[in-house]
Amino acid sequence: MPSIFSRIAAGEIPCHRVYEDEHVIAFLDIAPVSRGHVLVVPKEERERLHELSPDSAAALGRALQRVAAAVVRATGAADYNVLQNNGAAAHQAVMHVHFHVIPKHADGTGLGVGWRAGTLDQAHAPALAASIRDAMH
Ligand code: AMP
């Protein structure tokens, strides 16, 4: 069963497209957090970011930068957030990778971020960084 975003990419479900290439499609979010809220979606259907192929991830990164620049130019909002959720517990509702580009407007509309910052445990940080370094392959 293709995801709703695969069906949009296939033209089966309408969208307000702002960009498309071989690997990526971008369109207006149907329930925008602010004016100009765009979704940037790889055509490769994967649930989570780390599951993408290198080619798809590279194309997504290139498109994301271009779409963000176009959103800034078109909306006049210099400030914006890029959000990418992985997994239901991390607020992912559509299980097909996507990046949100969400302008922050002068009227205050845009993404509200809850950010409970802790303090890096310096005693354990070297082992933690090493474990992530070792997992890079
Ligand atoms: P997430 O919580 O990161 O999975 O966000 C999914 C996003 O997809 C939400 O912001 C929805 O408003 C958006 N969305 C769902 N269906 C559509 C659709 N048919 N067209 C455009 N945006 C959609």
Task: Using the atom order of ligand 1, give the atom closest to the CA of residue 83.
Answer: 3
Q: How far is CA 123 from each of CA 5, 128, 134, 135, rounded to the nearest angstrom?
A: 44, 10, 19, 20
Residue 70, burial from CB neighbour count under 10 angstroms (0-12, 13-18, 19+) = middle
pTM: 0.97
> Is residue 26 lining ligand 1, measured as CB closer than 6 Å?
no
Every domain of the chain and the residues it spans: 4-112
Cβ–ligand 1 contact at 30 (below 6 Å): yes
Name residues whose C-beta falls within 8 Å of residue 110's C-beta, 6 or more positions apart in sequence: 33, 34, 77, 79, 80, 81, 102, 103, 104
Taking the centre of ligand 1 as the mean of its atom positions, its distance from the CA of residue 29, in whole angstroms, is: 6
Q: Render each residue's pLDDT in the chain as its tens digit; 137 residues.
A: 999 999 999 999 999 999 999 999 999 999 999 999 999 999 999 999 999 999 999 999 999 999 999 999 999 999 999 999 999 999 999 999 999 999 999 999 999 999 999 999 999 999 999 999 999 98
pLDDT at 137: 82
- CA 29 to ligand 1: nearest atom: 22
Whether 105 is a known active-site residue: answer: no
Give the length of the chain. 137
What CATH architecture applies to the domain 4-112? Answer: 2-Layer Sandwich (3.30)
